[in-house]
Amino acid sequence: MSRLAERLSGQPAGAMVPRLFRLADRRQDTADTFTMMLEPTDGVLLEFIPGQFTMLSAFGVGEVPISVSSAANVDGPLQHTIRDVGAVTHALSNTPVGDVVGVRGPYGTGWNVSDGEGGDVILVAGGIGLAPLRPAVLEVLRHRQRYGRVVVLYGTRSPADVLFADELRRWDNLGVEVLVTVDYGTPEWMGRVGLVTTLVKRAGFDPRAALALVCGPEVMMRFTAAALIERGVRPENVRVSLERNMRCGVGLCGHCQYRELFVCLDGPVLPFDQVTGLLGIREL
């Protein structure tokens, strides 16, 4: 059987048909980033694991892959935190509360945070990358006693781009070491200025049994992974989330393919040592 036939036969009937979710609420997080709170019109909650994504459609405009940003295994609306960058994300940002959008999935691999049980967990985010990592942080906090130190390192362009500021404070109050830095400060900004990679050296964690989860622009993930490995984290314990152009999300169209990898199926979350050669390769 060919690889495509194998993938086709593995797809459940209706894998390409979106379910309908109503926009229950919408929160503007920063000037260009917002969170959609979605409720299924059929009342059946979407089960997912932290790190997975859905294909979200604005009907009549298009469909895009977006990571789930809400907590897994708890009641409440399905959340997606989205940066308005183009046609579909703009249409989603203009969707009125009460309207319906399409959701396919969830798809892809997750962070598998339980692999870090017994050791320290370091989560490093750049920009919108904090959104896909949020469910991982919440999962660790749900089983706090199973983990050692928990560290969140977060870098954004400017103070105005800091996502989930209240939640970062809450995590800090819960004993998570939260270090935030910005590329460009403002006169009012009293925090750190500089690249997030510089925080890897300062954070308090034992690298020997640490699990590191990294999400952000590819260049940031590359340098962060290098800094983590230099600090002593095992390369196989560093995980990154890849972003590639996607159409089907289920391994059929080939849009997300890189050599032997289909990012929608084999990723988006992958061990860094498996993707070192892929980071930085431009899409075709």
Ligand X SMILES: Cc1cc2nc3c(=O)[nH]c(=O)nc-3n(C[C@H](O)[C@H](O)[C@H](O)COP(=O)(O)OP(=O)(O)OC[C@H]3O[C@@H](n4cnc5c(N)ncnc54)[C@H](O)[C@@H]3O)c2cc1C
Q: By rule CB under 6 A, what count of residues binds ligand FES?
A: 12
Choose which of 176, 203, 246, 275 interacts with ligand X (CB under 6 A). Answer: 246
**How far from chain centre, in Å, is Cα 101?**
20
Choose which of 37, 38, 71, 83 interacts with ligand X (CB under 6 A). Answer: 83
Position 280 contacts ligand X (CB under 6 A): no
- CB neighbours of residue 215 within 10 Å: 30
Choose which of 36, 37, 38, 66 interacts with ligand X (CB under 6 A). Answer: 66
Name which of ligand X, ligand FES, none residue 254 binds, using a CB cut-off of 5 to 8 Å depending on partner kind.
ligand FES
Position 266 contacts ligand X (CB under 6 A): no
Minimum distance of ligand X from residue 195's CB (angstroms) = 20
Position 261 contacts ligand FES (CB under 6 A): no
Place of tokens 């200025």: 193
Position 132 contacts ligand X (CB under 6 A): yes
> SS in 3 state form for 106-152?
EECCCCCHHHHCCCCEEEEEEHHHHHHHHHHHHHHHHCHHHCCCEEE
Name which of ligand X, ligand FES, none residue 57 binds, using a CB cut-off of 5 to 8 Å depending on partner kind.
none
Q: How far apart are CA 97 and CA 99, in angstroms?
A: 6
- Pair 99, 36: CB distance under 8 Å: no
Helix (H, G, I), strand (E, B) or coil at 245: coil
Position 214 contacts ligand X (CB under 6 A): no
Q: Quick one: which segment of 68-76, 163-171, 200-208, 242-250 binds ligand FES (CB under 6 A)?
A: 242-250
Minimum distance of ligand X from residue 227's CB (angstroms) = 23
Nearest in space to 200 (alpha carbons), one of 233, 169, 156: 233
**How far from chain centre, in Å, is Cα 28?**
18
Name which of ligand FES, ligand X, none residue 249 binds, using a CB cut-off of 5 to 8 Å depending on partner kind.
ligand FES
Q: How far apart are CA 173 and CA 175, in angstroms?
A: 5
Choose which of 264, 269, 270, 275 interacts with ligand FES (CB under 6 A). Answer: 264
Longest dimension (CA), the chain: 63
| Residue ranges that bind ligand X, judged by CB under 6 A | 53, 62, 64-67, 81-83, 85-89, 128, 131-132, 243-246, 268
